[in-house]
Chain A
């Protein structure tokens, strides 16, 4: 031990995590409030929105690069989240949403961020005119932009589920899939439907800047499935106590790096630090996979009996380790289980080990929901809505965030393959239950909040 308090083992352990186990900071996301950009003239509103985003985030990418170099750790994404657009555009008689989205796209490109989230509406209890127009415009807005991400919160544990919005979104998801059919319906990768959406989520496509937030904040999403897997290699055959302790300690170390980066970024940008999102977010890279963690835990493939228990352990231990490492934890915080973005999950789906029903069960114990799942292009809108309704019900009843990001790949059927490219990865198209829920979805109206939400 050197008297400066670090050992050679400490230094090389950290650097092995970075170089061999894909430890990185997944995203620094700047949340920007746009309520002060409201204007009855849509062109004037767009002008204010563009100016505010490009002013506030002017140095975001550069600061991310400086921090990355200083600590020798990759910071994969620099991103922006904004106040849900439907709230800003409610000030206009004609919100001109596609132009609004294009303005966001230009602002994102001007400051060099790879995604901007918040083309969003919060409609859990009802839709305003502005909300409805935004949802109607999503297919055109997303298909005509490159970096804009959209989300709609259709349910909460306190308010129940807005089934009119669920029904509408089933149709809009298919419309968006059709408009981007030439690229395996990739537009749907940029639209998330939420129950209990967090206000401070730094991860795309579901990030937006909640109305209770400060004007501008820095939120950071850490990652590190590869680091957890690598740590678990050292405890093969040990009991669950040892397994859990190992995940917890690893999560602590990963999160400390996120906390450091968040504080440094907040200080350099002179913006308050918001939260650390503890999520384990996989990428298509070999060794950066949640399903590989399951394998290391002792499951042949993701989806095998025991998978839900394994995921519950992982999710809980990540939180327990991470909570002590950060002063403020928020966002989604848990494990993500996307299919296309995780090559070993995609492989499990391909061989039939992972079905949409098993994925749905897994979402009861992890931080998000049905994520990046390619389904047949001829899935009826009502079935897409039914999938959403099921997932929203899980979130509502269990007082947790759930989300749906499914991609009905146009022109392809179960067993075919969809290629999204880059971090979005590729996935087999998995089958959806063929029986109809059309009459159920057509009822319309709202599902009331569950009894245990009445806590006052």
Chain B
């Protein structure tokens, strides 16, 4: 299953590192990253492959939420299907 991780928050050192470390520990493969900073606000979207992950969707979601709190950013994990359904015919 592919997931989309979206991150929003104030930019600072270590956001990508923090999230990628967690993903590596959970055996989640990062397929792609897109990132931008608008008015000092950090936006990132990652597409990840969770097929080999040690975590179920729910537990990975919880871990990412917790990681986001520690990093001071909002992190959300969603199945990629919702975005494909809405934006692609």
User: Could you tell me which A residues sit within 8 Å of B by CB distance?
Assistant: 2-8, 10-15, 69-73, 253, 256-257, 259-260
Cross-chain contact of A10 among B8, B36, B43, B87 (Cβ < 8 A): B87
- Interchain Cβ contacts under 8 Å between A and B, 13 examples: A5-B84, A5-B88, A6-B84, A8-B35, A10-B83, A12-B6, A12-B43, A14-B87, A69-B58, A72-B77, A253-B86, A257-B86, A260-B85
Contact of B47 with A6 in the complex, beta carbons under 8 Å = yes
Contact of B83 with A6 in the complex, beta carbons under 8 Å = yes
Contact of A4 with B32 in the complex, beta carbons under 8 Å = yes
Contact of A6 with B87 in the complex, beta carbons under 8 Å = yes
B77 nearest CB neighbor, chain A only = A72
Cross-chain contact of B61 among A6, A69, A256 (Cβ < 8 A): A69
User: Could you tell me which B residues sit within 8 Å of A by CB distance?
Assistant: 2, 4, 6, 8, 31-32, 34-36, 43-45, 47, 57-58, 61, 76-88
Residues in B neighbouring A8, C-beta threshold 8 A: 34-36, 43-45
Residues in B neighbouring A71, C-beta threshold 8 A: 78-79, 81-82
State in angstroms the CA–CA spacing of A259 and B78 once bound together: 17
Contact of A257 with B85 in the complex, beta carbons under 8 Å = yes
Contact of A70 with B78 in the complex, beta carbons under 8 Å = yes
Known contacts A4-B32, A8-B35; 13 further A-B pairs (Cβ under 8 A): A2-B47, A6-B4, A8-B34, A8-B44, A10-B87, A11-B4, A14-B86, A14-B87, A70-B57, A70-B78, A71-B81, A73-B82, A257-B85
State in angstroms the CA–CA spacing of A6 and B84 once bound together: 7
Contact A69-B47, Cβ < 8 Å, known A5-B84, A14-B83: no
State in angstroms the CA–CA spacing of A4 and B85 once bound together: 14
Contact A256-B6, Cβ < 8 Å, known A8-B43, A12-B43: no
Cross-chain contact of B85 among A11, A13, A259 (Cβ < 8 A): A259
Contact of B32 with A11 in the complex, beta carbons under 8 Å = no
Residues in B neighbouring A6, C-beta threshold 8 A: 4, 45, 47, 80, 83-84, 87
B88 nearest CB neighbor, chain A only = A5
Residues in B neighbouring A13, C-beta threshold 8 A: 87
Residues in B neighbouring A259, C-beta threshold 8 A: 85
Main secondary structure of the interface of A (DSSP, over half): helix
State in angstroms the CA–CA spacing of A72 and B2 once bound together: 14
State in angstroms the CA–CA spacing of A350 and B41 once bound together: 42
Contact of B34 with A256 in the complex, beta carbons under 8 Å = no
Nearest first, the 4 A-B pairs at minimum CB distance are A72-B78, A71-B82, A10-B87, A260-B85
State in angstroms the CA–CA spacing of A2 and B32 once bound together: 7
State in angstroms the CA–CA spacing of A135 and B53 once bound together: 57
State in angstroms the CA–CA spacing of A150 and B87 once bound together: 38
Which among B8, B31, B34, B44 has the highest number of chain A CB atoms within 10 Å? B34
CB distance from B80 to the nearest CB of A (A): 7
Which among B32, B47, B58, B87 has the highest number of chain A CB atoms within 10 Å? B87
State in angstroms the CA–CA spacing of A127 and B24 once bound together: 67
B47 nearest CB neighbor, chain A only = A4
CB distance from A306 to the nearest CB of B (A): 31
Residues in B neighbouring A257, C-beta threshold 8 A: 82, 85-86
Contact of A7 with B43 in the complex, beta carbons under 8 Å = no
Contact of A256 with B86 in the complex, beta carbons under 8 Å = yes
Residues in B neighbouring A15, C-beta threshold 8 A: 6, 76
Contact A10-B47, Cβ < 8 Å, known A69-B58, A70-B57: no
Which among B32, B82, B84 has the highest number of chain A CB atoms within 10 Å? B82
CB distance from B4 to the nearest CB of A (A): 6
Contact A256-B4, Cβ < 8 Å, known A7-B34, A11-B45, A69-B57: no
Cross-chain contact of B81 among A3, A7, A69, A260 (Cβ < 8 A): A260
CB distance from A125 to the nearest CB of B (A): 42
State in angstroms the CA–CA spacing of A424 and B85 once bound together: 31
Residues in A neighbouring B76, C-beta threshold 8 A: 15, 72
State in angstroms the CA–CA spacing of A111 and B69 once bound together: 34
Residues in A neighbouring B80, C-beta threshold 8 A: 4, 6
State in angstroms the CA–CA spacing of A352 and B39 once bound together: 44
State in angstroms the CA–CA spacing of A6 and B36 once bound together: 15
